[in-house]
Amino acid sequence: MDTVAAAGPDRVVYVACDPAALARDVARLAGHGYRLDALRAFDAFPMTHHVECLALLRR
């Protein structure tokens, strides 16, 4: 996440299959001035515990 933030994009789109890793990385990007603008969860694997997440962060 430090490398992504160092590149300086206005927006970061993050696709995650692990909500804990997503939370960790969103917090790290927040430390670089990004904010979570949108978050969607997708049940791509019905009847399992797996959830895919799509997050949009903006500087």
Residues marked active site are found at 17
Residue type, 43: D
Taking Cα atoms as reference points, which of 20, 40, 22 lies closest to residue 30? 22
Q: Which of 58, 56, 59, 53 is nearest to 13 (CA)?
A: 56
